Every structure is written in structure tokens, then in C-alpha cells.
Amino acid sequence: MIAACFSLLKNNSQKNMFEQMYLKNRNIMMHISMQILNNRSDAEDCVSEAFLRAARNFEKFSSLDCPKQTSLLVIIVRNISIDKYRANKKIFAAEAPEELSGTVSFDSYSFDSVVFSIKQLKDEYRDILMLRFVYGYSVSQITDMLNISAENVYKRLQRAKSALKKELEGGEENNGYEIKKSPRSSAHGLL
């Protein structure tokens, strides 16, 4: 598997960096995939696919520091594993589209409350918000990484924003973070 990834890399320096990334992250990725699939063979396939995707976009990956690389790889392998699980079980989740009434602005909430609220969201919503607004990936880059259509990315973003808005407007105290409006803090252009 790593030989296939090496063939996508340009030089020995990239190959060495990729090998270090592989050795550092393969066990956690395997663990995540096994939790979802409970099948070692399928989990290995998903981890391999995640590393192939990382090799295809290695120039972007190599510019990230280690914790961001790990979290991005975990997001990718989780999504691949979920796709594999659905394919194995032939589950087709068809959700009715939700209406989103207008643009959502989080400029009046403290940054800590927005970050805390994002952590409370479902993995699928949290991941898409992180990829788009924290890591700064474009929709086309996200479609390549998660192997989903652009329409799916836009719909997930829409639903994630709606869920985040509901979480923020709940106004309840959460683990020491009271979700309150702050006139000077910004959610860094999140939505």
C-alpha cells in the first residue's frame, strides 16, 4: 500500500515525510475504522484508501503541523469507513431537505462558545465545519478528500450551520462556557 502512495509523490523528501506521517497515524486510523466496521480486512482497505487520498493531496498535507494532519486523516478514514459500512449493509439514508432561512451570522458570539458548540455537533457536521472554516479547504478540495459530491458538501454545510445556530441559541451553560453574545469577539467568519 505504501508503495502505491510513494508512486504519487514527487521526491525522496516527500516520501520520507509521508512515511513518517504513515507510521505516526496508521494505528489510530486503524482503531477508528475498526470501531465502525468491526472487520479487519475492511478497516485495512479504508486506511489504505485514506492514505492514498492523502498522497494525492500531499502538498497540502505536508504544510499542516502534526496534530492537524492527524485530525484530518481521522476525518477522512472515518468518512471512508462509514461509506464502506453503508455499502456493506446496503443502507441508503435519504433525508428530507431542510430549509435554511437566510444567512447565519455568529459574529456576536464569543469564539470559545462557538468552538465549544462545534464540538457538541455530530461528527459529520463537526468535520465539514472544521475542514471548511478551520483548515480553509475549498468545496472542491473537500469533495476530493471525502469522496462526496459538491452538492453533498453544500448540504452538509447548510445543515451544520443550522445545527450550530440551534446549539448557540440554546443559551444554556455548557461545561463552563455560557453561550453568550460578545460584542467584540468573532467566529472568524465562520458562516
Burial class (CB in 10 A: 0-12, 13-18, 19+), 184: exposed
Mean pLDDT of 86-108: 48
CA–CA distance, 77 with 72 (Å, rounded to integer): 9
Mean pLDDT of 90-115: 50
- How far is Cα 48 from Cα 52, in angstroms, rounded to an integer? 6
Residue 155 reports pLDDT greater than 90: yes
Identify the residue whose cell numbers are 492514505: 51
Question: Does 91 score more than 60 pLDDT?
Answer: no
The domain spans of the chain are: 2-89, 111-178
**Is it the case that residue 130 has pLDDT exceeding 90?**
no
Architecture of domain 2-89: Orthogonal Bundle (1.10)
Look at domain 111-178 and name its CATH class.
Answer: mainly alpha
Q: How much is the pLDDT for 107?
A: 52
**pLDDT band, very low/low/confident/very high, at 159 (cuts 50, 70, 90):** very high
For 171-190, what is each residue's pLDDT tens digit?
A: 544 444 443 343 333 344 45
The pLDDT of residue 109 is 65
Cell readout for 112 is 470559545
Q: Across residues 159-166, what is the average pLDDT?
A: 89
Cβ atoms 5, 18 nearer than 8 A: yes
Q: Which residue has the cell 460584542?
A: 183
Please state, in angstroms and rounded to a whole number, the distance separating the CA atoms of residues 147 and 152.
10
